């Protein structure tokens, strides 16, 4: 009897900590449920430490991202697109082909990415990259967006997905602490995360939740 393939989920993020901020609790939940979660990080964010050699920063960042991934129970692939040059480098390096191959092989049931409402240019770029990839996939998984810098509530007709992260919220915070060198989102407001988690939790009558919009 062939073994049933583990359900797979992919989370895209611009910088090394985005997947944790946006979906860390859900990732840990899915992993604990036995699903295979892969996060794809597009940039180390090397500009944050201009006085250090790029290579040193990349190694540091990779180490931090892998530490966070271990805590959440996911696997992380890191690419090295230059900050604010995502689309340019993405094209130059022919990353589309590689990612299409990876996603088509992985056949995730869900893909998570940045929101179009996020004002950060690198986040917008990854949103665009995800949508372009989505159109070219051999199959159509559910596509969700998460929040990093966009306002907590905006008007939309997209259906929401609430994930109860009551049992994984502390893990998410612990994973965020792995990014000791992170300046891109230096000290991402802890209170904002907490406020968001409680507000979303209230909606589904749990202590903490993460909210996503399904856009496809």
DSSP run (H or E) holding 121 = helix 121-136
Q: How far is the CB of 149 from Zn ion (least distance, A)?
A: 8
Tell me the per-residue interface mask from 14 to 53 with Zn ion, x by CB under 5 A, - otherwise. xx--x-----------------------------------
Q: How far is the CB of 128 from Zn ion (least distance, A)?
A: 14
Q: How far is the CB of 114 from Zn ion (least distance, A)?
A: 8
Nearer to Zn ion, 152 or 207 (CB): 152
Nearer to Zn ion, 22 or 73 (CB): 22
DSSP category for residue 179 = -
Nearer to Zn ion, 35 or 44 (CB): 44
- Only one residue has tokens 């271990």, namely 70
Q: How far is the CB of 26 from Zn ion (least distance, A)?
A: 17
For residue 4, give the 3-state DSSP assignment.
coil
Q: Are strands 110-114 and 142-146 parallel, antiparallel or unpaired?
A: parallel
124 interacts with Zn ion by CB under 5 A? no
Using CB atoms within 10 Å of the CB of residue 205, give its burial: 0 to 12 exposed, 13 to 18 middle, 19+ buried: exposed
Q: How far is the CB of 17 from Zn ion (least distance, A)?
A: 7
Sequence-separated (6 or more) residues with CB below 8 Å from residue 114: 12, 13, 14, 18, 22, 120, 123, 124, 126, 127, 130, 145, 146, 148
Query: Site residues (CB under 5 A) for Zn ion?
Result: 14-15, 18
């Amino acid at each position: 009897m062939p073994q049933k393939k583990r359900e797979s989920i992919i989370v895209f993020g611009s910088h090394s900590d985005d997947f944790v901020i946006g979906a860390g609790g859900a990732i840990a939940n899915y992993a604990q449920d036995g699903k295979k979660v892969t996060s794809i990080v597009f940039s180390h964010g090397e500009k944050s430490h201009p006085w250090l050699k790029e290579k040193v920063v990349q190694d540091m960042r990779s180490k931090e991202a892998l530490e966070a991934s271990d805590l959440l129970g996911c696997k992380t692939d890191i690419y090295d697109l230059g900050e604010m040059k995502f689309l340019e480098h993405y094209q130059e390096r022919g990353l589309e082909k590689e990612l299409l191959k990876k996603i088509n092989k992985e056949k995730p049931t869900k893909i998570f990415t940045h929101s179009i409402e996020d004002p950060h240019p690198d986040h917008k770029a990854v949103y665009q990259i995800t949508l372009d990839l989505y159109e070219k996939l051999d199959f159509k998984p559910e596509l969700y967006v998460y929040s990093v810098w966009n306002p907590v509530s905006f008007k939309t007709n997209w259906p929401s997905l609430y994930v109860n992260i009551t049992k994984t919220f502390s893990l998410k915070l612990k994973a965020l602490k792995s990014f000791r060198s992170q300046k891109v989102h230096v000290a991402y407001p802890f209170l904002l995360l907490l406020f968001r988690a409680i507000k979303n939790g209230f909606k589904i009558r749990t202590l903490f939740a993460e909210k996503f919009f399904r856009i496809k």
